[in-house]
């Protein structure tokens, strides 16, 4: 089974690629988190967890959901993390999570995909994004081969910087950066509710046909990226930047 969490489509694409090659099924964590559903998940041996990288680790909402959810039939677990740059020392925390759940840890793999974190970084134009995805495809193929063969992934880089980024910097990121107060909808907003529907934490509601953000945000960028009219901004950080979703490619 391939379970995935996806903000703007990168992890969904990777999960579906793996499932197609392994003749396996995908499982959308977004909907489970949105519904606060922690019912038991039945797995037939191999479990592949596909997620984006949030501050050099898997998203905390994904980690929390995995901890709360019971899994039956898990024999081996691989983590596949996509990122715009690096995953740091994420493997340490993935291994720790497996230990807590009683899973056999089979390693963590990194895939470079187009950046979507418009709150801090630039997002690529479609042609540049296509080039990045094109380079990622053979990496995905190699990852699939390793999983199919039952091999552990190669140990990723783990230097001092990686440890700092996945440790103290991750904590600083969630404390000071992951906030929703900078989101707003401009005059182009028609109150369609797309942002409400795609938010995995039910953190957005429509008031007078305009979205209003609560305090429970994970910075997945789904709301701002999937808005059909580019009516959502994140302070001044997102102004004039292209919105990235995998489906646009």
CATH class for the region spanning 2-174: alpha beta
The confidence band for 84, taking pLDDT boundaries of 50, 70 and 90, is very high
Record the tokens describing residue 12, joined without a space: 């969904």
User: What is the DSSP-derived secondary structure letter of residue 54?
Assistant: B
Q: Could you give the 3-state DSSP secondary structure of residue 243? A: coil
Check residue 55 and give its pLDDT. Answer: 97
User: What was the pLDDT predicted at 50?
Assistant: 98
DSSP string, 161-174: HHHHIIIIIHHHHH
CA distance 192 to 180: 20
For tokens 């740059």, what's the residue? 85
> Average model confidence (pLDDT) for the chain?
97
| Structure tokens that stand for 5 in this block | 């969490």
Q: What is the pLDDT of residues 11-69, one digit of tens each?
A: 999 999 999 999 999 999 999 999 999 999 999 999 999 999 999 999 999 999 999 99
Q: Which residues of 38-60 are buried (b: 16+ CB within 10 A; e: fewer)?
A: eeebebeebbbbbbbbbbbbbbe
Residue 7 is predicted with a pLDDT of 97
Radius of gyration of the chain (CA): 18
The fold of the 183-244 domain, in CATH, is: Alpha-Beta Plaits (3.30.70)
Whats the size of the chain, residue-wise? 249
- Rounded mean pLDDT, 148-157: 95
The residue-averaged pLDDT of 168-178 equals 97
| pLDDT of res. 60 | 98
How is the chain split into domains, by residue range? 2-174, 183-244
Split at pLDDT 50, 70, 90, the class of 196 is: very high
How many secondary structure helices (H) and strands (E) does the chain include?
A: 9, 9
201-217: string of b/e by CB count within 10 Å (b at 16+)? bebbeeeeeebebeeeb
Nearest one of 14, 34, 18 to 83, comparing CA atoms: 14
Percent of the chain with pLDDT over 90: 99
pTM passes above 0.95: yes
Q: What is the mean pLDDT of residues 144-155?
A: 97
């Amino acid at each position: 089974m391939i379970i995935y969490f996806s903000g703007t489509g990168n992890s969904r694409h990777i999960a579906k690629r793996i499932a197609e090659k392994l003749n396996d099924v995908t499982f959308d964590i977004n909907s489970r988190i949105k519904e606060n559903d922690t019912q038991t998940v039945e797995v037939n041996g191999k479990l592949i967890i596909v997620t984006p990288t949030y501050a050099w680790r898997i998203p905390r909402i994904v980690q929390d959901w995995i901890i709360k959810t019971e899994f039956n039939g898990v024999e081996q677990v691989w983590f596949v993390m996509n990122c715009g740059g690096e995953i740091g020392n994420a493997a340490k925390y993935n291994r720790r999570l497996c230990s807590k759940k009683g899973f056999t840890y089979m390693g963590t793999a990194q895939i470079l995909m187009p950046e979507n974190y418009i709150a801090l970084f630039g997002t690529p134009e479609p042609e540049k994004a296509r080039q990045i995805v094109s380079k990622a495809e053979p990496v995905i193929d190699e990852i699939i081969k390793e999983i199919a063969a039952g091999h552990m992934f190669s140990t990723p880089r783990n230097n001092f910087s990686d440890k700092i980024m996945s440790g103290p910097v991750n904590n600083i990121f969630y404390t000071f950066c992951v906030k929703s107060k900078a989101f707003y909808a401009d005059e182009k907003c028609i109150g369609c509710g797309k942002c409400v529907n795609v938010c995995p934490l039910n953190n957005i509601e429509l008031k007078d046909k305009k979205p209003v953000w609560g305090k429970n945000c994970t910075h997945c960028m789904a709301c701002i990226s999937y808005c059909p009219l580019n009516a959502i901004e994140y302070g001044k950080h997102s102004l004039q930047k292209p919105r990235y979703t995998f489906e646009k490619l």
